Amino acid sequence: MPTVSEIMDTMDYGPSVEDSSAVRDWLKQHERFGHFIDGSFTPAGRGFVTSDPATGETLAQISQGTAEDVAAAVKAARKAQPKWAKLTGYERASYLYAIARVIQKRERFLSVLESLDNGKPIRESRDADIPLVVRHFYHHAGWAELMADEFPDHSAIGVAGQIVPWNFPLLMLAWKIAPAIAAGNTVVLKPAEYTPLTALAFAEICQEVGLPRGVVNIVTGDGETGAALVEADVDKIAFTGSTEVGRAIRAATAGTGKRLTLELGGKSPFIVMEDADLDAAVEGVVDSIWFNQGQVCCAGSRILVAEAVAERFETLLTRRMETLRMGPPLDKSTDVGAIVHPVQKDRIVTLCKQAVAAGADLVGGAPGEACYVAPGYLREVSPANPAWSEEIFGPIATLTTFRTADEAISLANNTRYGLAAQIFSESATVATDLAAQVKSGVVWINGANMFDAAAPFGGMRESGFGREGGRVGMLDYLSGPKPDSVKEKAPKTPKAMTDGAASGKGIDRTEKLYIGGAQKRPDGGASYRAASGDLVPLGNRKDIRNAVEAAKKASKWAAMGGHGRAQVMYFIAENLSLRRDELGAKHGKEAVDAAIRRLFHYAAWADKFDGMNVQTKPGYLVNVIPQPFGIMGVICPNDAPLLSLVSLVAPAIAMGNTVVAVPAQDDPVAAFDIAQVFDTSDLPGGVVNIISGPKDDLAAVLAAHDDVAALWYCGAKGAEAVEKASTGNLKPVWSFENLDWTKQSAHGQRFLDHAVQWKTVWLPYGALPAGTGSVAY
């Protein structure tokens, strides 16, 4: 114990360590943990230890879940599900509410347990993680209560398999379990192997509140256990973790019909404009990349700062960095705790070395004892440096300067990822302009890492798909009303014919592909005799590539706004009605009439599929905005050649996407007839492109194309292949069965839901309260 006068000499902070005796008693009582299956704990099996990364001390023995354990848990969840879903919303809500209440009472216990197992400072687990967990269960207790009113005709999906990482162990559990069970699903959750303890404490809370057996099951283990869960008889997989594992899960679930939500990595930009409040921006860095030792998927790990203020910003940044206190996680005055595991520490140190070898300067960032790494940042990181694109997942940012806002945006979007972005500017004009242009699922203006249960969170591009939080997040755990499916006519194998072989008939006007608003001969010059008897162009890989290029050039379509797009779509409908008799004679009057109505229907929606403003905490304006994906691939069924094309293309373009469509393989002529109508209706060239040919071959090319951001596949077969082929850029693939297309309007919203991705934009009103930093807790 130092004397008072010694303290006066050094002015150091004294230790202020949170008491861990209650947690240690609990650990001693258990020592070896089994799984939580069907309401009780199984005997502990063979497994591994989890430890405190700050000291290396072993905390407990954990069982390695086998495929049999997973199967038992899924069986329990399956059995419990119908009864759980049949409870009234109010009844389910009261369980969620009880869980929230008990967690709230145990906040301190859970915070200490989380900090011990993960290494994060108690200040963070106490002030961010656990309060957000509580908020999540309360919020979703509300959704359970309101299910019948707010999601009429929706039902639970069934059993959800959920796999979470180690960076926010209990918070990620809450993000997954709360919406799932609120909606009437039951779950099997696998916590991360480095941090299973709070999930096991949560299992005890489920027992304590008398949650019906089997509603929540927890199986511990490593990636193998996770892989077994992916393979198991579940209806949905929700995963948060690395992009690499996300891809493996996409491939493993392809063609199974399992719903999928992937929340993956990021390399998010942190933009500091010339007019930013630089002190606030520096605090933003503290909250963004030095929060939780930078082990945050949405960390603003690429600092982009305006050249004019870069020097001043860096001075403030390094000064602030030096005041951060690295120390024991349980010390209440620790800012920087331990990295979760030696493996992760090594990864961080190795990546920093590689970055330096590639020409970067590392400021700070020295590795310490045990699992410690000091906060730091890398300067002089060119886009060719691995640190520019690789997720370091530690307290090390990169710092790059820019001159203009355009340059800032092009640097910001120069990444495969699209999880989050932070923008610092005192100008609302500048900040909102950048927020609109940056490609990410979440945007924080003048703040960082703001989370709330009401605000959807999730990524674009290779950061994954699906959202967690709020109304949009609930939809990922529900099935909406589904129209009856109609068996698809199996397409015939098309036989290629060269021009000559087409018996001198030549290729007339209607027998060309439609690319960039013009008729184009197919690349190979080949045609095929469609089952309809018509000679039609045989599109190939190169034609698809050309069509994607044309669709890319038409990106202004999104900028026209809903009203502008509606005008064009009304005009298409009008021109189609002018040709009603002629096209009706060729393709059926009913189909033409239904197509006209379909165009009107989605034109109506174009300016009415609204975003929402959600209530998080007082003082934040949080908007959730539907955004087009960009280029969509649309694979039509082999039926209803005119109507299916219109029915699928219309919702996609109404939302601002551009489309490469593969029409009904056996009868694509109707699609080319519709293309003529597009041409006379002010639809900008390239918004819709039509490539006829062998359905599944062309679908596979679209699935594998990195510039195609989303894919719809309609039909009985082939979903597995396109889902597998789509792992490259992790595009969301929606595969669905063929419908009676005359009835589609009744299900119009379902198509719009799949034509957008949501962007959540946080804008604090005025300045954030002094001293709170920007992490919203």
- Site of interaction with ligand NAD (CB under 6 A): 163-167, 190, 192-193, 222-223, 226-227, 230, 240-242, 245, 248-249, 263-265, 297, 347, 391, 393
Residue 248 or residue 436: which is nearer to ligand NAD going by CB?
248
430-461: buried (b, 16+ CB within 10 Å) or exposed (e) per residue?
Answer: bbbebbebbbbbbbbbbbbbbbbbbbbbbbbb
DSSP for residue 326: B
Residue 218 or residue 603: which is nearer to Mn ion going by CB?
218
Residue 597 corresponds to which tokens in the numbers above?
Answer: 């109505």
Residue 245 or residue 683: which is nearer to ligand NAD going by CB?
245
Contact 662, 634 (CB under 8 A): yes
Helix H or strand E segment including 303? strand 302-306
Q: Tell the smallest beta-carbon distance from residue 337 to Mn ion (Å).
A: 12
Q: Tell the smallest beta-carbon distance from residue 571 to ligand NAD (Å).
A: 44
Q: CB under 5 to 8 A by kind: which of Mn ion, ligand NAD, none does 644 bind?
A: none
Q: Give the C-alpha separation, 401 to 216, whole Å.
A: 48
Contact 118, 166 (CB under 8 A): yes
Q: Tell the smallest beta-carbon distance from residue 770 to ligand NAD (Å).
A: 30
Q: CB under 5 to 8 A by kind: which of ligand NAD, Mn ion, none does 192 bind?
A: ligand NAD
User: 263 by DSSP, 3-state: which?
Assistant: strand
Residue 376, CA atoms < 13 Å, CB-side half-sphere? 20
User: In whole angstroms, how large is the CA radius of gyration of the chain?
Assistant: 28
Q: CB under 5 to 8 A by kind: which of Mn ion, ligand NAD, none does 117 bind?
A: Mn ion
* C-alpha dihedral (129, 130, 133, 138), degrees to nearest 10: -140
Q: Return the residue nearest ligand NAD (CB atom).
A: 226
Q: Tell the smallest beta-carbon distance from residue 166 to Mn ion (Å).
A: 7
| Residue in 145, 263, 462, 488 annotated catalytic | 263
Helix/strand/coil (H/E/C) assignment for every residue in 442-480: EEEECCCCCCCCCCCECCCHHHEECCECHHHHHHCCEEC
Q: Tell the smallest beta-carbon distance from residue 329 to ligand NAD (Å).
A: 18
Torsion sign over Cα 744, 625, 730, 656: positive
For 79, counting Cβ atoms within 10 Å of its Cβ (0-12 exposed, 13-18 middle, 19+ buried), the class is middle
Amino acid at 627: Q
Q: Give the C-alpha separation, 578 to 381, whole Å.
A: 59
Residue 244 or residue 307: which is nearer to ligand NAD going by CB?
244
Closest Cα partner for 151 from 143, 159, 160? 143
Contact 603, 654 (CB under 8 A): yes
Residue 209 or residue 251: which is nearer to ligand NAD going by CB?
251
Q: Tell the smallest beta-carbon distance from residue 119 to Mn ion (Å).
A: 7
> Angle between the 428-437 and 405-412 helix axes, to the nearest 10 degrees?
30
Residue 293 or residue 738: which is nearer to ligand NAD going by CB?
293
Q: Tell the smallest beta-carbon distance from residue 218 to ligand NAD (Å).
A: 12
Helix H or strand E segment including 116? helix 107-118
Residue 194 or residue 457: which is nearer to Mn ion going by CB?
194
Residue 161 or residue 686: which is nearer to ligand NAD going by CB?
161
Closest Cα partner for 246 from 259, 263, 231? 263
Backbone angles phi, psi at 426, to 5 degrees: -85, -5
Q: CB under 5 to 8 A by kind: which of ligand NAD, Mn ion, none does 166 bind?
A: ligand NAD
User: 417 by DSSP, 3-state: which?
Assistant: coil
Closest Cα partner for 75 from 37, 34, 33? 37
Q: Tell the smallest beta-carbon distance from residue 31 to Mn ion (Å).
A: 15
Q: CB under 5 to 8 A by kind: which of ligand NAD, Mn ion, none does 241 bind?
A: ligand NAD
Residue 165 or residue 630: which is nearer to ligand NAD going by CB?
165
Closest Cα partner for 193 from 69, 49, 29? 49
Rule CB under 5 A: which residues touch Mn ion?
50, 117, 194
Contact 54, 368 (CB under 8 A): no
Q: Tell the smallest beta-carbon distance from residue 342 to ligand NAD (Å).
A: 13
Residue 51 or residue 401: which is nearer to Mn ion going by CB?
51
* C-alpha dihedral (677, 683, 687, 691), degrees to nearest 10: 20
Q: Tell the smallest beta-carbon distance from residue 29 to Mn ion (Å).
A: 18
Residue 292 or residue 658: which is nearer to ligand NAD going by CB?
292
* Contacts of 230 by beta carbon, 8 Å cutoff, 6+ apart: 161, 163, 237, 249, 252, 253
Residue 248 or residue 358: which is nearer to ligand NAD going by CB?
248
Closest Cα partner for 739 from 600, 598, 631? 598
Residue 264 or residue 654: which is nearer to ligand NAD going by CB?
264
Contact 355, 387 (CB under 8 A): yes
Q: Give the C-alpha separation, 647 to 525, whole Å.
A: 29
Q: Give the C-alpha separation, 676 to 275, whole Å.
A: 50
Please report which residue ranges of 470-560 form alpha helices under DSSP H.
470-475, 541-553, 556-559
631: left (phi over 0), alpha (psi -120 to 50) or beta: beta
Q: Give the C-alpha separation, 512 to 776, whole Å.
A: 56
Is 206 in the active site?
no
Q: Tell the smallest beta-carbon distance from residue 343 to ligand NAD (Å).
A: 8
Q: Give the C-alpha separation, 462 to 264, whole Å.
A: 7
Q: Give the C-alpha separation, 213 to 217, whole Å.
A: 9
| Residue in 297, 298, 352, 714 annotated catalytic | 297
Q: CB under 5 to 8 A by kind: which of Mn ion, ligand NAD, none does 50 bind?
A: Mn ion
Closest Cα partner for 150 from 422, 432, 480? 480
Q: CB under 5 to 8 A by kind: which of Mn ion, ligand NAD, none does 283 bind?
A: none
Amino acid at 658: T
Q: Tell the smallest beta-carbon distance from residue 394 to ligand NAD (Å).
A: 8
Residues with catalytic roles: 263, 297
